[in-house]
Amino acid sequence: MTTPTTASSTVELDLRSRLRSLRAAVAGNVLEWFDWTLYATFAVYLGASFFESTDPTSALLATLAVFAAGFIARPLGGLLFGRLGDRIGRKRALILTMMTMALASLAIALIPSFEQIGVWASVLLTAARLLQGLAHGGESGVSYTYVAEISPAKHRGLWSSSVFVSVTIGVMLATLTGVVLTAIFSEADMGSFGWRIGFAIGALLGLYALYLRRAASESPVFEHGEQEQEVQEQDAPNASPRAVALIVAKVVLFSAASNVAYYTWVTFAPSFAIANHGMEPNGAFVASLLAQCVVLLLLPLFGHLADRFGRKPMLAVYGIGVVVVAFPVHWILGSEPWTLFVSQGIGLAVWAIVASIYPTLIAEQMPTKQRALGVGLLSSLSVAIFGGTAPYLNTWLTSIGMSWLFSVWVMFLGLLAVVAAVIIRETRGVELTEIEAAP
């Protein structure tokens, strides 16, 4: 139910203020994702630096295990910072997540190698990655909520696409860092110290992100929080256990394939090509960078189409697309950089269909007064369960000659997205303040 005070607070934020806040959110999100993605970008070098490197495949698997462990902390971050976002404001929570991420990146840049301190190098890397996971879990949930709440209802899909445009730019900057560093330094220098420069840059950029976020406006929903919250608590009933269960089920159904696709076809693709197909590192990073350029054009387009035709048909097309391309994406990839460009480009094009509207899609499933907490916790749990384990599962199945099984897994998750398209309600153009609980 929409209350007069809630509705009016949404109108009070004019278009100029909305755009200014959106720019600040996007800029901060770019830098946050740059820091987060560097781990996957330099996974091969991290494995050699912080684990026993006599068996490269074993070292890479150990690095990916730590990569997955970082996702364990994401739900905790979604819970902690989501709760803070609902209590102290979206803006302040986003500032805290950026500070935490910058600190973790600086720690990774400074950790001594396995040769210098032995197993403690692995322990410290794990601790830093857990800290990154905590920050990133909070960042994702609160930023999804923030962008959705400052967006005009009729164009929320298009505005929502800016989140993953900024995510992609952050990933591209991390990939570009790999391109530049591998071009400047020899393979030996990259393994010794070159990769550390990337994490040091990430820590420094984090300071700039703090400045940007301090200049952002607070979400109008939270700005009038005390008065609105009193009305909501009086007039809006708490969601029933059945409604909560339905929300969780819907989010898992449309998130599972998205997260597996993202961490398989986006962030880990270059490292997988280098480690498992013998692709030359610089060529792999360039090919990945070009593929990501393509998706930047597709994200706003798909967001606009979701505003025109609705969330349900876009989600159905996405699920079917995942089923269709799962095996071709795997078959195309070889040792030449062009194969990575084509393979990753196809995967990214399909992923962009749901990524363009994912922040608003998940926000639209939540009642207003628990939105930051619900979005943060559920999105982080889904990423942890499905996305965080995807690179390890893909690498392990490939190492035992059963890579086809991973493609089957991706296809199954794509079918779940189709199921989600059937059961979710259409929320195109609906004010977020009108969404109190799942039907």
User: Which tens digits make up the pLDDT trace of 91-108?
Assistant: 888 888 888 988 998 999
Indicate whether 299 pLDDT > 90: yes
Indicate whether 408 pLDDT > 80: yes
Indicate whether 240 pLDDT > 80: no
Band of pLDDT at residue 276, cut at 50, 70 and 90: confident
Task: Write the single-letter amino acid at 124.
Answer: L
SS3 content of the chain, % helix, strand, coil (to 5): 85, 0, 15
Average pLDDT of the residues in 353-357? 92
Q: Is 346 helix (H, G, I), strand (E, B) or coil?
A: helix
Query: Among all chains, which residue has been given the structure tokens 């601790």?
Result: 127
How far apart CA 213 and CA 215 sit, in angstroms, is: 5
Q: Is 430 helix (H, G, I), strand (E, B) or coil?
A: coil
Average pLDDT of the residues in 135-160? 86
* 60, containing H or E segment: helix 56-87
Indicate whether 211 pLDDT > 90: no
Bigger pLDDT: 426 or 372? 426
Burial group, residue 34, by CB count within 10 angstroms (0-12, 13-18, 19+): buried
Bigger pLDDT: 2 or 405? 405
How far apart CA 26 and CA 147 sit, in angstroms, is: 9
Q: What percent of the chain lies above the pLDDT cut of 70? A: 87
Average pLDDT of the residues in 247-266? 85
Indicate whether 283 pLDDT > 80: yes
Indicate whether 303 pLDDT > 90: yes
